Amino acid sequence: MPSRRRSPSRTEPGGPEAGLLVDRVDPWADAVAHLRAIDPRWHPLIDRIGPCRLRPRRDRFGILVRAIIGQQISTKAASSINRRLLDLQGSDRHLPDSLLALGIDGLRSCGLSGVKAGYVRNLSEAVASGSVPLSRIGRLRDAEIVSLLTGIKGIGPWTAEMFLVFALNRPDVLSVGDLGVRAGIRSHFGLDALPTPRQCLDLAEPWRPFRSVAMWYLWRGLDSPPPAPSVQAP
């Protein structure tokens, strides 16, 4: 994912034939074809990385909890805290009522700071009360979802944008506040300096309506740089 997260595969409801059909069809084929058509600089990156593997995740609440846990700490530390928090709930998924039952002290015992424990409680209260209806949130537009989520203290624009991309697979998100995105754009265009958020928006305009897929490839490109050319002996 991004400079901070990742994502994997999906299964669809329906009979076995429906499941096989979804598995065999590339849902992002049109997006990849669009990127290839507008800019040949995409060709080597797409060829190296392969098909876009973005698939929607069903655990929407868990994605937001893990995003809060991961703020400003290493991936390894975040994974450890996340595991302890799941163990304390006795579950393989985060549940709003379970997290609320732990209280601030219980959340902190897993390694969360007092501030982050408060953020997790805020999110849990919003979801448990129904003020943030995650099961129906996919019916809203991107901007409405960002506005709803950022109304929860502890959820900022970056977290809301990652939710759009990784939980809902919205196709046209560009998170210009993400340093990985800006670094990827710098590399893609061969820029001397890291572009500003405004420059990122301007440069990425031709990627519409598939900026999420472009962003995914930029992240993957940073994670898997091309091999260095071999040096030939004189």
Q: 163 with 204: CB under 8 angstroms?
A: no
- Catalytic site residue 178? yes
Q: Token match 């897929």: residue?
A: 213
Q: How many CA atoms lie within 13 A of 40 on its CB side?
A: 0
Residues in Cβ contact with 150 at an 8 Å cutoff, skipping those fewer than 6 apart = 156, 157, 160
DSSP string, 186-212: HHHHT-SSPPPHHHHHHHTGGGTT-HH
Q: Which of 92, 178, 202, 223 is catalytic?
A: 178
Residue 57, Cα to own-chain centre: how many angstroms? 10
Give the CA diameter of the chain: 71
Decide: 114 and 128 in contact? Cβ < 8 Å.
no
Side chain identity at residue 69, one-letter code: I
Tokens 């669009």, residue located: 34
Specify whether the CB–CB gap between 210 and 35 falls below 8 A: yes
Task: Give the CA-trace dihedral at 65, 68, 73, 76, to 10 degrees.
Answer: 10
Residue type present at position 212 = S
Residues annotated catalytic, as ranges: 178
